[in-house]
Amino acid sequence: MADLERGIYESLNTGRLTNTLQHVDPNVVQEAKFESAEAHNLLARHIAALARRALLAAPDGTDRLIRQVELANRIAEGIAYADPLTLTSEDQVVDAKHILYAIAAPPIPPAAPTFPPRPTTPLSTGALLVNGRHQPRIGHEVAHEMASADQVDLLCAFIKWHGLRLIEPAIRDLVRRCWTVCPRFASTNATDGARRTSRCWCCWPSRASPTLDRVPANPSGTTAANSYR
């Protein structure tokens, strides 16, 4: 581990970290109690980091993927050996060439299955989108994410109605597919300090758009939030 920088941490005291801390003035080191309530998150993150490091270290070659799958299975075997009630042989990766990509609704013959569109960003990868050059468009990604979602919480800054209309077809398709879903929209509005509220989109099945009802501005003087429910 490289020299520790000043800042805040939530790091487990591994042997590597302990050795590094021996060269740091104890007066500038702050420790906290390792709480069992959050232990599973910290330990899982630690194990995930170790597994990722080992998987990335797999040598290049035509059999690299197979080696990575075998390593992942050995890690799973170790966990199953430590806690047989948690994992079984059914948790092993048995196909090193394919992953499940989508499941479509049963088609009406003679039509072929129609699979939902996918966002450009892989589901296993997080991404910060700013509508920059050569980046996926935010509206496009949001619409494609909702195409297969069963719940949506959308938080935006300074929402504009014409911007919301860009994803209106995706919202209405979501409500049509999951009739119990009520997409919620929350946004700040720094222009007039007013709060606007509306019902969920499900409540307007026959109207082009819900009506926004204005209520008094935030009495505290701080920026109020727009909540589109």
Q: Tell whether 102 is covered by a domain.
A: no
Q: Tell whether 4 is covered by a domain.
A: no
Q: Tell whether 153 is covered by a domain.
A: yes
Count of domains observed in the chain:
2
Residue 44 structure tokens: 């899982």
Domain termination residue (choose one: 75, 91, 107): 91
Domain termination residue (choose one: 91, 106, 131): 91
∠ CA 202-204-206 to the nearest 5 degrees?
A: 120
Q: Tell whether 3 is covered by a domain.
A: no
Residue 198 structure tokens: 């509306």
In the predicted model, what is the mean pLDDT of residues 147-170?
75
Q: How confident is the model at residue 156 (pLDDT cuts 50, 70, 90)?
A: low
Could you list the residue range(s) of the whole structural domain that residue 188 is in? 149-228
pTM of the model: 0.65
**Better-scored residue on pLDDT, 207 or 170:** 170
Q: Tell whether 170 is covered by a domain.
A: yes
Domain termination residue (choose one: 44, 68, 91): 91
Spatial CA neighbour of 210 closest among 196, 225, 224, 223: 196
Q: How confident is the model at residue 47 (pLDDT cuts 50, 70, 90)?
A: very high
Please return the burial class of 174, using the count of CB atoms within 10 Å of its CB with bins 0-12, 13-18 and 19+.
Answer: buried
Tell me the C-alpha to C-alpha distance, in Å, between residue 17 and each of 5, 10, 11, 13, 56. 13, 12, 8, 6, 21
Kindly state whether residues 154 and 224 are assigned to the same domain: yes
Q: Which residues pair with 39 in a beta bridge?
A: none
